[in-house]
Amino acid sequence: MNPPPITTLSPSVHVSDLPAPHGKGKDTSGSSDGVFNKEMRFGTLTGAISVSVAEQDLNGATANVTLNSEQGRVRLYLQDGKGYRYVEASPGKPAQTRGDLMYAGGWWWYTLEAVDGEARGVVSHVWRRNP
């Protein structure tokens, strides 16, 4: 069963463009519970990467997301109807929000970005209230 929906949102920042996905995630692992409940762990993250969540379905793009980092600042980008927005996490300051994933090539996805060089111990969790 998926966690409940997020009701307390972290501050987010609107941007017109996504960062170019030329980054790299290393020591990556993931777990999935159902169709749309995915946690991804990155030992290290540099730059920006696209992260696929699930194949397209008829339940829409809206998802709950959490983001944590053990070292370094990281951002998670979603659509916002006027462009994009991101929430930012840093050590001891996790972020959470609810919003719309991007869609391309038959997949729902989001962008993760390490802001100041390399981030370590990055964990993102994306889910719908109902799987």
Q: How is the chain split into domains, by residue range?
A: 13-124
Structure confidence by residue, pLDDT tens digits, 102-117: 988 888 899 999 999 9
pLDDT for 30 equals: 82
| Confidence band for 131, pLDDT divided at 50, 70 and 90 | very low
| Confidence band for 65, pLDDT divided at 50, 70 and 90 | very high
Q: What is the pTM of this model?
A: 0.90
CATH assignment of 13-124, among 1.10.150, 2.60.120, 1.10.10, 1.20.1530: 2.60.120
36-40, 61-65, 89-93: which is most confident = 89-93
- C-alpha distances out from residue 33 to 2, 50, 54, 62, 84, Å: 8, 20, 12, 17, 27
